[in-house]
Amino acid sequence: MDDINYVTCIPLWDCLLVPLHGDVSDTHADELVTEVLERIQRDECFGVLVDLSGVWTLDSHLCATLARLSLAAKMMGAKTVLSGMKPEIAMTLEAMGIELRGIETVATLEDALGSMGITRVRRSRHDDDDLVMRSLLGDGPSEGDSGATR
């Protein structure tokens, strides 16, 4: 797969979501660093979320590249978080003695979002039903009503 748009950077508020997938070649890993750093500068991002849940293998070159990306992003004012590492990849890295120094790792993409301060607003089912009913009846939310639980 040699297409030029291999690296996907999804803007997510003030962060970039970078989902990796398949077997990331050395060339694509290097393109990743260039693309992400350019996007951090252009989009004024404060966070980079690299999701590894679709990655088949994580070799020493890709680990070094992710460490380089994390350090460069930090110098630009952006925090990097890796999510979704498969257990077999983590075990292989540990057996090979490869460390991801200076890179925060979390289990899921939701955890990565949380580490950036992006959390889900939870409302009770009752509040959602109440808002839908008021909307259907044309009443809409009352003044000062944010839909929060009373």
Looking at the fold, whether 22 and 59 belong to one and the same domain comes out as yes
Nearest 5 degrees, angle CA 111-CA 38-CA 16?
A: 20
Q: How many domains does the chain have?
A: 2
Q: Position of tokens 């997510």?
A: 12
Confidence of residue 136 (pLDDT cuts 50, 70, 90): confident
Looking at the fold, whether 103 and 34 belong to one and the same domain comes out as yes
Q: Is residue 40 part of a domain?
A: yes
> HSE of 147 in the Cβ direction (CA atoms, 13 Å)?
17
Looking at the fold, whether 109 and 126 belong to one and the same domain comes out as no
pLDDT in tens, 82-111: 999 999 888 888 888 888 877 899 999 999
Give pLDDT, residue 100. 81
Looking at the fold, whether 83 and 108 belong to one and the same domain comes out as yes
Dihedral angle sign, alpha carbons of residues 55, 57, 63, 68: negative
Looking at the fold, whether 112 and 139 belong to one and the same domain comes out as no
**Domain extent at residue 99:** 10-119
Q: Is residue 1 part of a domain?
A: no
Looking at the fold, whether 36 and 110 belong to one and the same domain comes out as yes
Q: Is residue 30 part of a domain?
A: yes
What percent of the chain lies above the pLDDT cut of 90?
Answer: 51
Write the DSSP string, 91-110.
Answer: HHHHHHT---TT-EEESSHH
pTM of the model: 0.76
CATH of the domain at 65: 3.30.750.24
What percent of the chain lies above the pLDDT cut of 70?
Answer: 81
Residues 6+ apart with CB under 8 A from 89: 52, 55, 57, 58
